[in-house]
Amino acid sequence: MSQLSERPRQAIVGLPLPHESAALHVTGNALYTDDLVVRTKDALHAWPVQSPHAHARITSLKVKPAYDVPGVVRVLTAEDVPGVNDAGVKHDEPLFPTEVMFHGHAICWVLGETLEAARLGAAAVEVEYESLPSLVTVPEAIAAGSFQGTGRHLNRGDVGTALSQATHVFRGEFEFAGQEHFYLETHVALALVDEAGQIFAQSSTQHPSETQEIIAHVLGVPSHAVTVQCLRMGGGFGGKEMQPHGFAAIAALGATLTGRPVRLRLNRTQDMTMSGKRHGFHSEWEAGFDDDGRLVALDATLTSDGGWSLDLSEPVLARAMCHIDNAYWIPNVRVDGRIAKTNKTSQTAFRGFGGPQGMLVVEEVLGRCAPLLGRDAMDLRRRNLYRPHDTTPYGQPVRHAERLEACWSEVVETGEVERRRMEIEQFNATHPDTKRALAMTPVKFGISFNLTAFNQAGALVHVYKDGSVLINHGGTEMGQGLHTKMLQVAATTLGLPLERVRLAPTRTDKVPNTSATAASSGADLNGAAIKNACEQIRERLARVAGGRLGISPGDVRFSEGVIRGLSFDGEGLRWEDVVNDAYHQRVQLWAAGFYRTEGLHWDPVAMRGEPFKYFAYGVAAAEVEVDGFSGAYTLRRVDIVHDVGDSLSPLIDLGQIEGGFVQGAGWLTLEDLRWDESDGPNRGRLATQAASTYKLPSFSEMPEVFNVSLLEKAHEDGAVYGSKAVGEPPLMLAFSVREALRQAAAAFGPPGTSVVLRSPATPEAVYWALDGARSSGHRAEQLETVELMRSPAGLSGV
Amino acid sequence: MTTTADHRPVALSAPALKVNGEDTAIGEVTVHTTALDWLRDRGLTGAKEGCAEGECGACSVLVARPGIDTSTEWTAVNACLLPVAALDGQEIITSEGLGSPASLHPVQEELAVRGGSQCGFCTPGFVCSMAAEYYRPDRTAPAAEACDHEHGPNGFDIHALSGNLCRCTGYRPIRDAAYALGSPAADDKFAARTLAPPPPPAPTAMEVAGSEFLRPASLDGVLEVLADRADAQVVAGSTDAGVEVNLRGARPALVVAVDRLAELREFEFGADEVRIGAALTLSEIERLLDGRVPLLAQMFPQFASRLIRNGATIGGNLGTGSPIGDTPPALLALDASLVLASRRGERVVPLADYFTEYRQTLKAPDELIRAILVPLPLAPLTAFHKIAKRRFDDISSVAIGYAVEVEDGVIRQARIGLGGVAATPLRARATEEALTGRPWTERTVREAAAVMAAEGTPMDDHRASASYRSAMLGQSLLRFYAEHRAPEGVRA
């Protein structure tokens, strides 16, 4: 057990606590950025002028008519930018473009006394365009050779030879959709200027430091002239890692030019048409299996839909390539990855960050091939799971691979999987119009930012003379319960009851140069930084207390607000008394904490190294029922066993697992981003740009029975108090739902039917899948999509 | 303004409403200002805007409405859709009014301790929707076998939350919180309020910056306004008009509220027909019918969400003339008629004739739907099938209503209403013909299903492909047969 991971007695970490803001949430007292507007005097409101073209050159921009609208105060255009006219870090995202790159691209912004005035002002702005050819789909971009960023190649073993020697070889093509974040709180920023011209921007951002940097470079000022604060977000999911910067910069620019506070809040349609989403991918794959159903080779080309600018597409692609193995040992792997440049929103981080897309490909391979191999899909997956001492295609040992099998067998047992599979078989035999299926899928997800430099964090901990404690850290709260965990970490390290510790909002003037709260790493990084700061203070106080107790500082213990010797005998000293003594002895009562994750290395060109501190594991079993008349389905039961290490906060972690799972199921089954791909006047327009047309899971999509348990004896030596990250990995447990739907659709056909299932697997997609299975004429279509390259006699008829 | 002075509502006082127990002047706002924006501008920022179209429920608040089992019922509605002017004289409660961090309401307590909030943004809306169900007077513990994943042991119907979206939790802890709720305590002030009469509708006349909001006190008053002003926008629950205002920038110069008119809220289950007042909400009709029209009983839970059904009226659903409303296919199958009223008098129009073209109807600009008439007796075999991406709160790709009579194994009559497959809702006449007079057998149905799959002129859009819509028509008839192969209603 490492010093970082060891827990003291009576630790506050590990207690199942509700969210630290729960009482504020339920009473409507929790403040979000837009709630501050009514509490801010004389704020102006911003409204964008959006492009009605997917790709066009702006030939004329007349803003004067906007000023004729009563209440319009200012129109912001490129000429107003004193610094760099760019909203990103790659310098490929002009804040005010001269060439619009997607339908809905903001051209300029109107500030009004009211939102209504700004809206009408924006409608009055006159823009002339010269329409340019556009690329809307990935196949269009591939055909046109339209790519951006750096393509990557991952290689292990000898794929060519392995495929030529494999007993069964299949080839397929699979394109799948992205996903809208649909955080309930849309993008919002509120910027003020102080007496010295410094900017204070409140922003719903997962990455306050980068928001600060972008504001600074747009305004042409140093970073120290800009402070960004994030009270909390109404959901982020990766959508507020990069995307908030430009919006905050517009608000800051407006505040600078008008001297008044500027509020920029997107309405839902603006948010959906302007901000990036999960990348959809196109994939081509060829897979070889041996006689025992072992996957011996996988050759894949992944093309992500990057949209109009790079944003985070490169690291998203890297993570997709690093997760194409999911939880399976594949001795020979070759993956080519590239990023298509299309005339769409610039796709970005979304919970899983490419991992889900890479993993979906291998799950598709296994789901399609199992019937063609004459094997049960559950068996096929289990026999290919990583085992101890295996390594990933990029050369990292799969530490704790045995936890995959542990999770799997626990799900089989507690989920009564064998009994239910027999019941399902009986049910299907007697129900021609309704079919059920149960599928199990595993998850292995690498934890750490692929880019090593991001794996650092800072914290600032103050102990006041009265013994109360205030903590700051660089992570942001978006509902994931980070702040709850951080309070628990601080209370545990200082040996204090939870109520003695308060957490202050995330601000760039407290902890600088922070990484995004992303990659599931928030608790690992910031928790370790807080622990470090608290330990510095604790060590100083131990010297003070040791003097009073007449013992060595090394023998002083802190627990429940009392400071005692190692034996825990006697009444001990009250925390606040020792703090008071320390003050009078002129002992520093605050500390800055820092943490860097040790042991990481990564060569992004060779795609080799150990980019991850550890892997998070989980297994899910999902049972569905499909209606043969419509393709509609219900999720009858889900059983999950997930590895969160020694949980820092079990109620929080449970919520992350359940919520991630349902969000993943939404991506795979329901959430259907549709872009106008026609050559009509609305080409490139997002057709599903509102809650009425883009459906996320509601109560009707939650599993009827939902059993989640945390893997026991799961201590993680490399993370704070033995815990593991939990934000992203559970999303990918939802592959079980997609695979169950595939199997239920197949059950409408003869045994051994391999089913083509679109992603998302909407009722319509499931209907076409089962309709195909039902009708014999579908067999030819299957072979077109999954080509049976080679198989011994007897299996070729499959 | 040319509104007839005689019938112009006389406001007794400046527009005001009671918010969390405090009388509050509506003040200087436009007539299109939503209740949500108005609340937030007053610092009550608990209710949030998540979508501005009544889909996410983050804006849910409680309104004191006339009750069915008690004098008043706390009814959850989408504050983002309702103009604040429509709340003149009314009482509302927000999440801030239900409890405070130091003194949580039971609903708030259960949600908080069970992990029912993560980011918390949707939470105030969930609290209000859940509180409405907590106070529902006919919420009683059902028999154990009636409990399932959608019905808690405390009588909590999860459909009460069908209009609230959460992106974080996956809903399980929210469901657990809902099913853990007890009954209101004896001294619960919100429960006590339900025993007193609801606030009466207040005649309202607001005029701001050239736009007017009128709530006449009588039907005659409304008809006068409609006769004088062809541009008047009639609003009941504002669940459709509110979307136009929020998302498409509609700013009608004159809004006339009709939702509280007694003449439009009649309900009579007679011997020959059911008369349903046009301004009754879908929720009210569901409760008043209490399952007596099985076809409608099957439709109600599939119609939008509870939040929307609490505001949306049946007249409004027909008044918009939308081809994808959920009531038209059901009412077409039921052979319903509409009572249209104007200053010129009243007339009865069969619903089958009412829809003329895309969002166009026989209703003249000066006419108002007063009531819907459903003839009795009802056909014995009925069903409502809705094809959508999501089971709760989605818009139909296709909707089908069936009312079929089988006697001696022969189909005597078949009425089938369709939505989503043409520019208007329509009857599946060719299919009806292919069924009528034929034996109620699989062969008949298979042949008719082929006919049905060719009904209408379905389109490709983001909800569904045209081919899926057509396939669903045929499949729906097969399903209807599978459900009623040898049912009780088929007389041998």
Q: Report residue A241's pLDDT band, with 50, 70 and 90 as the boundaries.
A: very high
Give the 3-state secondary structure of residue B162. Answer: coil
pLDDT surpasses 70 at A87 = yes
Residue A179: HSE in the Cβ half-sphere, 13 Å Cα cutoff: 30
Contact A480 B118 (CB under 8 A): yes
Nearest to B165 among A119, A478, A696 (CB): A696
pLDDT of residue B490: 58
Q: Where are the beta strands (DSSP E) in A31-112?
A: 44-50, 56-62, 72-76, 99-100, 106-112
Report how far residue B86's alpha carbon sits from residue B237's, in angstroms, rounded to the nearest whole number: 9
At A184, give phi and psi (nearest 5°).
-65, -30
Residue B231 lies in a domain: no
Closest-CA distance, A433 to chain B, in angstroms, reads: 9
B364 and B477 in a common domain: yes
Note whether residue B336 is domain-resident. Answer: yes
In 3D space, the residue among A67, A78, A160 whose CA is nearest the CA of residue A112 turns out to be: A67
CB contact under 8 A, B118 and A31: no
Residue B65 confidence (pLDDT): 97
**Gap between the Cα atoms of A608 and A452, Å rounded:** 13
Is B390 in Cβ contact with A26 (below 8 Å)?
no
Please tell me the predicted confidence (pLDDT) of residue A798: 30
Interface touch A184/B56, C-beta < 8 Å: yes
The DSSP code sequence of B322-335 is -TT-SHHHHHHHTT
User: CB-based contact (8 Å) between A40 and chain B?
Assistant: no
* pLDDT tens for each residue of A702-760: 999 999 999 999 999 999 999 999 999 999 999 999 999 999 999 999 999 999 999 99
User: How far apart (Å, rounded) are the C-alpha atoms in residues A339 and A324?
Assistant: 16
Q: Which of these, B49, B40, B48, lies nearest to B19 by C-alpha position? A: B40
Q: Residue A566's pLDDT band (boundaries 50, 70, 90)?
A: confident
Residue A636 contacts B, CB cutoff 8 Å: no
Distance from CA of B373 to the nearest CA of A (A): 30
- Pull the structure tokens for residue A244: 């908030």
Chain B residues in contact with A116 by the CB 8 A cut-off are: 30
Residue B47, chain A, CB below 8 Å: the answer is yes
What's the gap in Å between the CA of A540 and the closest CA on chain B? 36
Range 365-394 of B in CB contact (< 8 A) with A: 385, 387-394
Residue B87 placed within a domain: yes
- Measuring CA to CA, which residue among B383, B408, B398 is closest to residue B484? B383
Residue B140: domain span: 1-201
Q: Does residue B22 fall inside a structural domain?
A: yes
pLDDT of residue B336: 98
Residue-wise pLDDT tens digits, A665-701:
999 999 999 999 999 999 999 999 999 999 999 999 9
Q: How far is A612 from chain B (nearest CA, A)?
A: 26
Same domain for B129 and B1: yes
Would residue B370 count as lying in a domain? yes
B254 is a domain residue: no
Q: Which percentage of chain A shows pLDDT scores above 70?
A: 97
A19 touches chain B (CB under 8 A): yes
Q: Which of B163, B183, B201 is the last residue of a domain?
A: B201
Q: Which residue of B has its CA nearest to A673?
A: B462
- Distance, in angstroms, between B147 CA and closest chain A CA? 12
Is the same domain home to B182 and B314? Answer: no
Higher pLDDT, A451 or B34: B34
Q: Same domain for B404 and B477?
A: yes
Q: Which of B93, B168, B247, B387 to mutate to test the interface with A (most CBs of A within 10 A)?
A: B168
User: B183 and B277: one domain?
Assistant: no
A481 contacts in chain B (CB < 8 Å):
118
Read off the pLDDT of residues A354-406 as tens digits, 9 standing for 90 and up: 999 999 999 999 999 999 999 999 999 999 999 999 999 999 999 999 999 99
- Window 390-449 of B: residues touching A by CB (8 A cutoff) are 390-395, 397
Cβ-defined contact of A672 to B462 (cutoff 8 Å): yes
In chain B, which stretches have pLDDT less than 50?
A: 1-5, 492
Which of B156, B186, B201 is a domain's end point?
B201
Query: Chain B contact for A25, CB < 8 A?
Result: yes
Task: State whether the Cα torsion B384-B385-B386-B392 is positive or negative.
Answer: positive
Q: What is the pLDDT of residue B9?
A: 77
Spatial separation of the C-alpha atoms in residues A745 and A734, rounded to whole Å: 17
Q: Which residues of B touch A433 (CB under 8 A)?
A: 479, 482
Residues in chain B: 492
pLDDT at A796: 32
Q: Cβ of A26 and B100 within 8 Å?
A: no
CA atoms within 13 A of residue A649's CA, in its CB half-sphere? 27
Query: Taking CB atoms and an 8 Å cutoff, what residues of chain A touch B115?
Result: 18-19, 22, 651-652, 654-655
pLDDT (average), residues A326-332: 98
Same domain, B289 and B195: no
Assess whether B340 and B410 both reside in one domain.
Answer: yes
Same-domain status, B142 and B61: yes
Average pLDDT over residues A304-323: 98
Q: Is some CB atom of chain B closer than 8 A to the CB atom of A479?
A: yes
Q: Which of B201, B230, B252 is the last residue of a domain?
A: B201
CA atoms within 13 A of residue B469's CA, in its CB half-sphere: 23
Residue B89 backbone zone (phi > 0: left; psi -120 to 50: alpha; other: beta): left
Average pLDDT (A126-136) is 98
Asked if A553 is an interface residue toward chain B (Cβ–Cβ < 8 A), one would say no
User: According to the model, what pLDDT value does residue A789 have?
Assistant: 55
Q: Which of residues 173-232 of A touch B (CB under 8 A)?
A: 181-186, 232
Domains of chain A are 456-596 (3.30.365.10)
Q: Are residues B48 and B187 in the same domain?
A: yes
Q: How many CB pairs under 8 A join A and B?
A: 259
CB contact under 8 A, B30 and A185: no
CATH of the domain at B449: 3.30.465.10
> Cα separation of B406 and B445, whole Å?
13
Residues B195 and B298 in one domain: no
H-assigned helices in B82-207: 95-98, 106-113, 123-134, 172-180, 189-193
Beta bridge partners of A479: none
Tell me, yes or no, whether B279 and B192 share the same domain: no
B171 has a chain A CB within 8 A of its CB: yes
Which of A21, A25, A240 best probes binding to B when mutated, by most B CB atoms within 10 angstroms? A25
Rounded mean pLDDT of A638-644? 98
Decide if B247 touches A, using CB distance below 8 A: yes
Is A728 an annotated catalytic residue? yes
Residue B226 lies in a domain: no
The domain tally of chain B equals: 2
Q: In the prediction, which pLDDT does B386 show?
A: 97
Give the tens place of pLDDT for each residue, A246-272: 999 999 999 999 999 999 999 999 999
Judging contacts by C-beta atoms under 8 Å, the chain A residues touching residue B51 are 268, 690-692
* pLDDT for res B28: 86
Task: Name the active-site residue from A363, A728, A739, A784.
Answer: A728
Do the Cβ atoms of B105 and B131 come closer than 8 Å? yes
β-bridge partners, A707: A639
Q: Are residues B271 and B196 in the same domain?
A: no
Of the candidates B114, B390, B463, the beta carbon closest to that of A700 is on B390
Mean pLDDT value across chain A? 95
Here the CATH number for the domain that contains residue B178 is: 3.10.20.30
- Tell me the nearest-neighbour CA distance from A207 into chain B, angstroms: 17
Sign for the CA dihedral angle at A161, A167, A172, A174 comes to negative
Model pLDDT, residue B491? 54
Instruction: Among B121, B158, B476, select the one facing A32 at the smallest CB separation.
Output: B121
Q: What is the pLDDT of residue A793?
A: 38
State the pLDDT at residue A275.
98
In the stretch 177-206 of chain B, residues with CB closer than 8 A to chain A read: none
Structural domain includes residue B346: yes
- What Cα–Cα distance (Å) separates residue B246 from each residue in A268, A695, A777, B44, B420? 11, 19, 48, 20, 24
For B79, half-sphere exposure in the C-beta direction (CA atoms, 13 angstrom radius) is: 30
* pLDDT for residue B298: 97
Across the interface, do A663 and B167 touch by the CB < 8 Å criterion?
yes
Q: Which residues in chain A have Cβ-Cβ distances shorter than 8 Å to B166? A: 184
Of B121, B392, B462, the CB nearest to A698: B392
Asked if B227 is an interface residue toward chain A (Cβ–Cβ < 8 A), one would say: no
CB < 8 Å to A232, chain B: 119-120
* Interchain contact, B478 vs A629, CB within 8 Å: yes
Cβ contact, residue pair B119, A481, below 8 Å = no
**Residue of A526, A455, A560 whose CA lies nearest to A720:** A526
